[in-house]
Amino acid sequence: MKKTVVLKVDPKAPNPEIIRLAADIIRNGGLVAFPTETVYGLGADALNPKAVLEVFKAKNRPLDNPPIVHVADIADVHRLAKDVPAKAVKLMERFWPGPLTLILKRSEIVPSITVSGLGTIAIRMPKHEVALALIRESGCPIAAPSANMAGRPSPTTAEHVLEDLGGRIDAILDAGPTQVGVESTVLDLTVEPPQILRPGGVPYEDLKEFLGDVALHPVAVANMDYIVDEARSPGMKYKHYAPRAKLIVVEGETIAVINKIKELASMYVDKGLKVGILSTDETSPKYDIGVVKSLGSRSNLLEIARSVFKLLREFDKEGVDIILAEGVPSTGLGLAVMNRLRKASGYNIIRV
């Protein structure tokens, strides 16, 4: 067991002393969890293979699922990647810092473990003063998957990180809850047209408008149990974001969804199970049994994205056996939310 130090830090103006402390840990091959605008990441020196191995171990993450490498300067992309297409540079200029991860051909300086032996690398520049200060002070790119145990909902607060990784990592930079709440959009630029492998903080619609042509990988939509036979985004094949409780997503026209969830809820309650209902502000008053939680208003997908992982963790804390979740509109950030819910359910989706 390690002693995990929690370092409080101002999200807008991080104290340089604290950042120096955290950067020392990174430079010495240690592990520091830090906030980004999306979720907390578990960081290590991306160019130190031993340190990156420790990240996999701490999270219990399969070695064939590579982390994202975080940079604070576009110039670093050209050290980590090669044959960077003009399109990539335009995307960086438009969307960085921000929740967009680019898949590019990797350069020789990147240790094999950092990319799980692939010929490609995932890179992004986070939009968070603490993350940027940590990368700059460490003087190296920082490899960081989400700072949760593999398979669990991603952490949007330092408390979530501590829950999963306390005693397994060196430090956590605590700057309060994250803003976006779902992870970055992963865009593969090694194929034509570019393809979204994971929907996230930058909406599909924005990329479509900017690029003209962009494809959505079937797994990104996650509306079917798609068999991935090709390890382009190895993370695709693992169960993800899952609470301990069994989760069922009910999708369709709102009234029909409410009725179906009511029917299922009373059936499970009769069986003696503790039922959780993941609803929205507009629908939560309709439910009179189970533990009812609201993601926020259906007209505010930003709010919904921000609360989805937090609420999944709360249901677990309350010892719920089964969660019945309403589908939300899959436009804008809603696509990322639906991808996370569908995956968390293990594709246990009911359409009404």
Residues that bind ligand TXA (CB under 6 A): 36, 38-39, 41, 65-68, 99, 101, 103, 115, 118, 120-122, 126, 144-146, 183-184, 186, 197-198, 232-235
Cβ-based nearer residue to Mg ion, 127 or 340:
340
Residue with tokens 């995956």: 343
CB of 274 to ligand TXA, least distance (A): 29
Q: Which residue, 87 or 237, is less far from Mg ion as judged by CB?
A: 237
**Closer CB to Mg ion, 114 or 146, in the complex:** 146
| Distances in whole angstroms, Cα of residue 351 to Cα of each of 102, 249, 285, 302, 312 | 33, 8, 22, 24, 21
146 binds Mg ion (CB under 5 A): yes
Burial class (CB in 10 A: 0-12, 13-18, 19+), 32: buried
DSSP character at residue 26: H
Which partner in Mg ion, ligand TXA, none is near 43 (CB below 5 to 8 A by kind)?
A: none
* CB neighbour list of residue 290: distance below 8 Å, 6 or more residues apart: 265, 269, 274, 275, 276, 277, 324
186 binds, among ligand TXA, Mg ion, none (CB under 5 to 8 A by kind): ligand TXA
Residue positions counted in the chain: 352
b/e burial code for range 41-74 (CB count within 10 A of at least 16 → b): bbbbbbbbbebbbbbbebbebeeebbbbbbbbee
Strand, coil or helix: 257: helix
CB of 153 or CB of 290, closer to ligand TXA: 153
| C-beta nearest to Mg ion: residue | 146
Q: Is 216 strand, coil or helix? A: strand
Six-digit token pair at 251? 């999708």
CB of 217 to Mg ion, least distance (A): 17
User: Residue 38 touches which of ligand TXA, Mg ion, none (CB < 5 to 8 A by kind)?
Assistant: ligand TXA
Q: Tell me the closest approach of the beta carbon of residue 67 to ligand TXA, in angstroms.
A: 5
16-75 residues near Mg ion, rule: CB under 5 A? none
67 binds, among Mg ion, ligand TXA, none (CB under 5 to 8 A by kind): ligand TXA
Residue numbers at the binding site for Mg ion (CB under 5 A)? 146
